[in-house]
Amino acid sequence: MPDRLMTGAALLLAAWPGGAQQRRPPERLENLTGKTLMLFTPHPDDDTFCCAGTLAQLARKQNKIYIVIYTNDDKGSYDPEMTSERLARIRMHEEEEACRIVGIPKENILWLQFHDGMLEYANSRDLVEQCTGLIRKYRPDVVLGPDPGGEYVRWHKTDHRMAAMNTIDAIRAAEWHLYFPNQRLHDHLEPWKVPMEFFYYAGKDANYFVNIDNEIELKLNASAAHVSQFDPSIRHYRADWDPKDLERVKATFRSRSKKDGHYVEGFRSARGFNPQ
């Protein structure tokens, strides 16, 4: 009786006090090889800031990684001369560079094209349908997304809330052929059940940590590719770093970011129903 098919039984267990044991993934995320991963990110940089070390390991191990980006990040500048059209262009190129450093080709970046900060006001039914179609098309072995947990309700940028919710809702819908049946009929997309899910921005709910001691410099470089998002470029745009500024930012991170003496990236791991 394979776990993924016994829905009624799973729900029944979920309804029971202590009944819905959350199964651990069978192997370490970072050890996967030859798989397909799909990461949903609210903006072009949450993927880098949260997961660059893990992604770099996975890219090296011949996994195919798709980055689905909900918004174009066209609002995040204090430069009074900046316009949204120009910032969107800048952010696209910065993301492509960050992905290149991590090992993901720019053809694998899928832009959903929402405006920064406006994802919350998207039509949620249509957004679920769109992402369901992507999951059914790429059939990922692992989906990564922002955690729809405690942080979710407080998060200070609305896009994170919507991205977190929408991603798990699309995962759920992708599994059943009667959701959005026109995708099967007209696009020949078959249903797909995502076997593993990892959630970043999990805060104190993180239950899964990937050691990135070997990728820390790569991650800082990839993060630094988002130069427009750091001082001083965020105040008066410049496309490059003053080496002193860059080194100071990196030093801050190197000094503040260790957990138990190691650099890590934290996730919440869950399978099937997604308990508290």
Binder of its own copies out of 25, 108, 111, 241 (CB under 8 A): 111
User: Would you count residue 8 as binding its own copies (CB under 8 A)?
Assistant: yes
Min. distance of Cβ 138 from its own copies in angstroms?
A: 18
Min. distance of Cβ 145 from its own copies in angstroms?
A: 12
Contact string (CB under 8 A) for its own copies, positions 75-104, x = contact: xxxx-x-xxxxxxxx--x------------
Of the candidates 256, 269, 259, 263, the one whose C-alpha atom is nearest the C-alpha of residue 219 is: 263
Query: How much of the chain is in helix, strand and coil states, percent to nearest 5?
Result: 45, 15, 40
User: Would you count residue 244 as binding its own copies (CB under 8 A)?
Assistant: no
Sites for its own copies among residues 27-46 (CB under 8 A): 45-46
Q: Does residue 232 have a cis bond before it (omega within 30 degrees)?
A: yes
User: Would you count residue 19 as binding its own copies (CB under 8 A)?
Assistant: yes
Binder of its own copies out of 32, 148, 218, 221 (CB under 8 A): 148
User: Would you count residue 201 as binding its own copies (CB under 8 A)?
Assistant: yes
Closer residue to its own copies in complex, CB, 65/73: 73
Amino acid at 246: L
What is the separation of C-alpha 21 from the centre of its chain, rounded to a whole number of angstroms? 25
Q: Give pairs for 112-115: CB < 8 Å, separation 24+.
A: 112/68, 112/69, 112/70, 112/71, 113/72, 114/70, 114/71, 114/72, 114/159, 115/71, 115/72, 115/74, 115/75, 115/84
User: Would you count residue 136 as binding its own copies (CB under 8 A)?
Assistant: no
User: Would you count residue 169 as binding its own copies (CB under 8 A)?
Assistant: yes
User: Would you count residue 188 as binding its own copies (CB under 8 A)?
Assistant: no
